[in-house]
Chain A
Amino acid sequence: MRARRHLTREKDGADRPWRFAAVRTAGPVIFRSAAGRIDLAHAAGLDYVHASGETTAGLQAYRIDLGAAH
């Protein structure tokens, strides 16, 4: 960071080397992360991630649409 001084998303935060294989699932696939952060997921280009609404102790369930993963 000291060498670069100025980090930009284009140069320093958008080189995604991997993706999930696209596969449609009959039911929801979920994971948990801090609540209320879905905007950060979408800003990072993860538009296949959705908030599911269930929140416990500050952690929220998010749903990932593997069929739309890219």
Chain B
Amino acid sequence: MSPNDPPAFAGRALADRIGSARSVAAAALLAVALAAGCAGQHSRTDARTGEEDARATLAILESTDIHANVLSYDYYKLTEDPSIGFERLATLIRAARAEYENSLLFDGGDTIQGTVLADWQALASPLPCDRKLAVYKAMDALGYDGGVIGNHEFNYGLPYLAQVTGRRLQAEGADRRTCNGPDFPLVLANVIATRDGRPLFAPTALLERRIRARDRAGRMRELPIRIGIIGFTPPPVMVWDRSHLEGQVTALGLVEASRRYAPALRAQGADLIVAISHGGINPGPYSPQMENANWHLAQEPDIDVLLLGHSHQAFPAPGDVRSRFNDMPGVDNRRGFIHGKPAVMGNFWGKSLGVIELGLIRRGGRWTIDADATHAEVRDIRRADGSFVAPDPAIRELVGGEHRGAIDYVSTPIGDSDFALTTYFAAVGDVTALQPVNSAQRLWVERHIAAELPQYAGIPVLSAAAPFKVGFGGATDYAAIEAGPLAIRNAADLYPFPNTLTAVRIDGAGLKAWLERSAGYFNRIDPQQRAPQELINRGHAGYNFDVIQGGIGYVVDVTRPEGERIVDLRYRGRPVDPDDPFIVATNNYRASGGGDFPGLDGSNIVVEARSPTATR
């Protein structure tokens, strides 16, 4: 309970959670919405100025970026990992529901991709139409009220997304049948199908619920509330998954999509509109292509609450002196507000649960937020003493078959190694985890060019690979393969994303620019400084630290400013001329513009393997 809650309205710790009415109304036709618009506006005025008749506390719970970590298990190492997993998050969810008599549970996206379990169900042992995806089985056991489509939901293509979400999507190969999907509504307002010009998924949903509240006389009553949800995903998904999305869909900016769809939701009678926005918080200038535009979305009048994700962070983080949200303008990193709107981001991989404790006041039959009685927090599965909450045994029982199937798959032998392949020291020169990837990519592209693209014969083929796992998720988040027998799980450890092999044609100047962007992984070092200096730039993701191999050599001078650090760039011992041609094997993400590497925007792709020629 918030210390600001007036005692008379502090109704909590009762067993019942939200009321019985759980109907979901799809967004109405625009004409209906416009006709109802005046009534909705009038009611909101009443809600702000009318006589108060009841108060309630509603907990909005958020999981996000689960990335198919259903169980607390590391499929790369074949060991339990209690620091992650929906099965432990489920314990936090059940505890929160016991704590709050009114609650709603939402998911912030990036749900179906990210572990070997996900790849096994999508690629190695394709899920039958009548079966539900393991992660959705687990989520349905908890009874979600809604969720959003994150950018990684598109990784396996639109037909697969249509299948596992149980929706017919207006896209090629995605509209043929209705398969088994989750029981809760999935909303997405800013991805539009090219075929019919309408949102690919329902942009919004209206949830009609009943909550327990205390009236002016102090009596507990059950009262109706209507909560609208609207979903957003990062517009750059069009770049990151171009091979799946080009020609099929377009993406709107968050602000533009909100202005297009949220007013109709309000007009339908939504007391509150919750944006489930798979994105982070960036106070920089807005553009419709902005990846983390929620600082701007929070300023939209029709958005009341924000549930965030994508950037794998905790918000608010009041105890973290290094939190980037501490000094961000308009952001309250203690109580969880952005421009006065309650907001939360529940970390990633099932590590944490986002909780917004909403204080609500009812006037004239409409509910509004009491900001003084509202705050957000992030609750971790890791306790303060370093131990972890217990897993919910029902979850493991539900997905036991899929879990064993994935383990059998990744245990398939593929070879052996006389050295350990790890990313522990990839940032300072170790290539043991990168060279096998680069060698495989380069070999495939060279053979493809020899067989199919004689016009590129004679152009040197290089390859770029990044150390994806560099500790962002903690001490176990490294590729770590011991010398000895190798299995599929080891290849997956080196390359955890279902990317496809792609090659681009660039020149020597482009090669240097590529390496300069990678070198942003390092902070600028002052040789005169006596105090310790951190080498690694925490704002530069490990997956954007490409190491390029295939006969080149280069020196990185970290004392120089970004953009001027690559010196002595050579190919086979000879200095690289800005006009020298190269073909570089990489992945669809990088070749299409992912990571904002100069010159890489999809226009210079010369080889594009189609799925299932995944890099792995």
Q: Which of A29, A46, A49, A58 contacts B533 (CB 8 A)?
A: A29
In the docked arrangement, what's the CA distance between A16 and B434, Å?
Answer: 10
Query: Which A residues are in CB contact (< 8 Å) with B475?
Result: 34-35, 57-59
Is residue B243 within 8 Å, beta carbon to beta carbon, of the partner chain?
Answer: no
CA distance A59 to B476 in the complex (A): 9
Chain B residues with CB under 8 A of A15 = 431, 435, 549
Q: Which residue of A lies closest to B526 (CB)?
A: A25
With contacts A12-B439, A13-B419 known, is A23 near B425, CB below 8 A? no
Q: Which chain B residues (31-47) contact chain A, with CB distance < 8 Å?
A: none
Specify which chain B residues have a CB less than 8 angstroms from the CB of A13 in the assembled complex: 417, 419, 421, 431-432, 435-436
B478 to chain A, nearest CB (A): 6
A17 to B530, CA, bound (A): 30
Contact A19 B471 (CB under 8 A): no
- The smallest C-beta distance from B173 to any residue of chain A, in angstroms, reads 30
The answer to whether A14 and B431 have CB atoms under 8 Å apart is yes
Set B418, B425, B474, B547: member contacting A9, Cβ < 8 A: B418
B15 located at the interface, meaning its Cβ lies under 8 Å from any Cβ of chain A in the complex? no
User: What are the residues of chain B within 8 A of A31 when measuring CB–CB?
Assistant: 427-428, 534-536
What's the minimum C-beta distance from A60 to chain B, rounded to whole angstroms?
A: 9
Roughly how many angstroms separate A29 CA and B416 CA in the complex, as a whole number? 36
The smallest C-beta distance from A44 to any residue of chain B, in angstroms, reads 4
A66–B531 touching, CB < 8 Å = no
Known: A7-B486, A16-B431. A66 touches B525 (CB 8 A): yes
Contact A43 B420 (CB under 8 A): yes
**Assembled-state Cα–Cα distance A59/B538 (Å):** 15
| CA distance in complex: A57, B553 (Å) | 36
Whether A4 and B415, one on each chain, are in contact in the complex, defined by CB atoms closer than 8 angstroms, is yes
Which chain A residue lies CB-closest to B422? Answer: A40
Given contacts A21-B557, A32-B536, A46-B425, contact A8 B418 (CB under 8 A): yes
Choose among B436, B535, B567 the residue with the greatest number of A CB atoms under 10 Å from its CB: B535
B553 touches A24 (CB 8 A): no
The residues of B that contact A9 with a CB separation of less than 8 Å are: 418-419, 432
**Interface residue? B261 (CB, 8 A):** no
Q: Is the CB of B527 within 8 A of A24?
A: yes
Cα A57 to Cα B246 with chains together (Å): 43
Instruction: Tell me the interface secondary structure of chain B in the complex.
Output: mixed
- Say which residue of B430, B527, B536 sits within 8 Å of A41 (CB atoms): B430
Q: What CA separation (Å) do A30 and B424 show in the bound complex?
A: 14
Once the chains are docked, how many angstroms separate the CA of A66 from the CA of B559?
10
**Residues of the A chain whose Cβ atoms lie less than 8 Å from the Cβ of B421:** 7, 13
Please indicate the chain A residues that have their CB under 8 angstroms from the CB of B549 in the complex: 15, 17
| Most chain B CB neighbours (cut-off 10 Å) among A3, A21, A35 | A21
| In the bound complex, CA of A43 to CA of B557 (Å) | 24
Residues of A within 8 A of B422 (CB): 37, 40
- Known contacts A7-B486, A27-B533: does B554 contact A33 (CB below 8 Å)? no
A53: Cβ under 8 A from any B Cβ = no
Instruction: For the complex formed, measure the closest distance between the CB of B207 and the CB atoms of chain A, giving whole angstroms.
Output: 39
Report Cα–Cα, A24/B602, bound state, in Å. Answer: 41
Q: Assess whether B491 is in contact with A1, with CB atoms less than 8 Å apart.
A: yes
Q: Are A59 and B471 in contact (CB under 8 A)?
A: yes
Report the minimum CB–CB distance from A4 to chain B (whole Å).
6
C-alpha spacing A17/B429, complex, angstroms:
9
User: What residues of chain A lie closer than 8 Å to B547, measured between beta carbons?
Assistant: 17-18
Among A1, A41, A64, which residue has its beta carbon within 8 angstroms of that of B436? A1
State how many angstroms separate the Cβ of B508 from the closest Cβ of chain A: 15
Chain B residues whose CB sits within 8 angstroms of the CB of A12 once the complex forms: 417, 419, 435-436, 439
The CA of A18 and the CA of B559, in the complex, are separated in Å by: 16
- Beta-carbon contact of A1 and B419 below 8 Å: no
> Which of B415, B530, B558, B559 contacts A7, CB < 8 Å?
B415
Contact of B486 among A1, A29, A59, A64 (CB under 8 A): A1
Query: Which residues from chain B contact A1 at a C-beta distance below 8 Å?
Result: 414-415, 436, 440, 486, 490-491
Q: Cβ of A25: which chain B residues have Cβ within 8 Å of it?
A: 525-527, 529, 533
A42 CB, min distance to chain B CBs, angstroms: 10
A-B contact pairs, 23 of them (CB 8 A): A2-B414, A6-B416, A13-B419, A13-B431, A15-B549, A17-B549, A18-B429, A20-B428, A20-B556, A23-B527, A25-B525, A26-B527, A27-B531, A33-B427, A33-B478, A34-B476, A34-B480, A40-B424, A40-B425, A43-B419, A58-B476, A59-B475, A64-B535
A interface list, Cβ under 8 A from B: 1-9, 12-21, 23-35, 37, 40-41, 43-46, 49, 57-59, 62, 64, 66, 69
B-side residues, CB < 8 A to A, are 414-422, 424-425, 427-432, 435-436, 439-440, 443, 471, 474-476, 478, 480, 486, 490-491, 525-536, 547-549, 552-559, 567
8 further A-B contacts with Cβ under 8 Å, apart from A23-B525, A41-B430, A66-B558, are A3-B440, A7-B415, A7-B486, A12-B435, A13-B432, A29-B532, A33-B427, A41-B428
